[in-house]
Amino acid sequence: MQSRIIFLVGPTAVGKTEVAIKLAKKINAEIISCDSMQIYKGMDIITAKPNSKLTKKVPYHLISIISPTKEYNVFRYRKAAIKKIKEIIKKGKTPLFVGGSGLYVSTLIDGIFKDGSEDKSLREKLYQQAEKFGSQFLYNKLKKVDLEAASRIHPHDLRRIVRALEVFKTTGKPISILQKQRRGLTGDYEVIIFGLNMLKDRLYERIRKRTEKMFKQGLVEEAEKLLKLKLSKTASFAIGLTELKGYFLGLYDLEEAKRLIQRNTYLYTRRQLTWFKKDKRINWINLNGKETTKDIVQRIWRKLY
C-alpha cells in the first residue's frame, strides 16, 4: 500500500498555514513548506512566515534554511523535500506540503527532467538582456525556440522565461519536451491535493489586513536590513522589497508603499490561481470567509477518510 502525501495549496493570504497546523495535528502529519521565499532566513515578516508559536505545535520543515544572499532553486528544493518525505514516512507520519509556489508543487508531484543543466553565466547574461531590452524581448526569443512553453508562461514572468531559455541553450532541447519525460511523486506515493480559495473581494480584504499587520510587526525595519544586503536574484523578488525601496528613496510616502504591496500581492494571487486552476487533480474548497479553521479542517478530513 502506497504511503500518502498531502498538498494544501492556494493563493497567498487565504489561510493555508492555520489550516495546515490543525490538520497536521489531526492526521499525525509533519508540515513541509512549499514556498519559494520562506526558505530564506531573516525574511520572516515580508514572507508571512509562520511564527515560532505555530511551528512549536507541529514540526515545520524547509523554512529559514538559507541566507537571502544565496541563490536557491527548484532543483535544490526538490532534493531537500524528497529527503524530508522519506524521514517523515519512516517515523510513521504523513508529509503535508503547504504553500503557494506552483512551480515547487509541480516539480515535486510531476517530477523534473534529468538533463536540466545549469549555466550561471548564461543566466546572468539573459537577465542583463532583460534589464536592457525588457522581458518581452526574451519572451519573443522563447516563442521562436519553444512555442509550447511560451504559451504557458506569462510574458512578464522573467524567472521562468530565463529558465526555459537556459535549458534550451544548454541542452539543445525545448523545456516543454523535457518536462514530459519527468517522473514525480505520483509514481511512488498516493498524492492528494487540496486547494483553498475564496471570492476575490474577500481575499483582497484579507490581503489588506495582513499587510497592515506586517507593518505593525516591523516590516519597514526588516526590509531596510534586507536591502542593505546583496540579495540573490530569487530573494530580491519578494513582494515588499521593491515597494519599500521606493519609499526609502523618497519616491512616495509609506501609505503609497503599503498600497503597492497590497496591489502587487493581489496580482500575485491571480497568477497563483491561474497556475493552480490548470491542475484538475486539485480538490478545491471554496471559502465564504465565515468558516472557522476547525470547519475547514473538518471538510478536508471528510474528503480524506
- State pLDDT tens for residues 243-254: 999 999 999 999
Locate 303 and state its grid cell.
474528503
Judged against a pLDDT cut of 80, whether residue 4 lies above it is answered with yes
Q: What is the pLDDT of residue 68?
A: 97
**The pLDDT of residue 116 is above 60:** no
Give residue 171's pLDDT: 85
Would you place residue 176 in the very low, low, confident or very high pLDDT band (cuts 50, 70, 90)?
A: confident
C-alpha to C-alpha distance for 121 and 242, rounded to whole angstroms:
25
Buried residues in 131-150 as b, exposed as e (16+ CB within 10 A): eeeebeebbebbbebbeebb
Task: Give the pLDDT band of residue 115 (cuts 50, 70, 90).
Answer: low
- Residue spans of the domains in the chain: they are 4-112+183-304, 120-179
Range 4-112+183-304: architecture per CATH = 3-Layer(aba) Sandwich (3.40)
Rounded (10°) CA dihedral 86, 91, 96, 102: -10
Binning pLDDT at 50, 70 and 90, where does residue 56 land? confident
CA-derived radius of gyration, the chain: 19
Is the CB of residue 129 less than 8 Å from the CB of residue 122?
no
Which among 28, 188, 23 is positioned nearest to 108, based on CA atoms? 188
Which of 94 and 52 is assigned the larger pLDDT?
A: 94
Model pLDDT, residue 241:
97
- Beta carbons of 139 and 115 less than 8 angstroms apart: no
Q: Are 43 and 222 in contact (CB under 8 A)?
A: yes
pLDDT band at 114 (very low <50, low <70, confident <90, very high): low
Q: Which three cell numbers stand for residue 68?
A: 537571502
Residue 255 has pLDDT above 60, yes or no: yes
Contact 39, 62 (CB under 8 A): yes
End-to-end CA distance of the chain: 16
Does residue 130 have a pLDDT over 70?
Answer: yes
What DSSP line would sit under the chain, residue for residue? -PPEEEEEE--TTSSHHHHHHHHHHHHTEEEEE--TTTTBTT-TTTTTPPPHHHHTTS-EESSS-B-TTS---HHHHHHHHHHHHHHHHHTT-EEEEE---HHHHHHHHH---TT----HHHHHHHHHHHHHH-HHHHHHHHHHH-HHHHHHS-TT-HHHHHHHHHHHHHHSS-HHHHHTT---GGGTSEEEEEEEEE-HHHHHHHHHHHHHHHHHHTHHHHHHHHHTS---TTGGGSTTHHHHHHHHTTSS-HHHHHHHHHHHHHHHHHHHHHHHHT-TTEEEEEE-S---HHHHHHHHHHHH-
For 154-158, the CB contacts below 8 A with 24+ separation are: 154/271, 157/271, 158/127, 158/130
Identity (one letter) of the amino acid at 237? F
Share of the chain above pLDDT 90, in %: 80
- With a cut of 70, say whether residue 113 has pLDDT above it: no
CATH 1.10.20.140 is held by the domain 120-179:
yes
Q: How confident is the model at residue 270 (pLDDT cuts 50, 70, 90)?
A: very high
What is the model's pLDDT at position 55? 85
Q: How many residues does the chain have?
A: 305
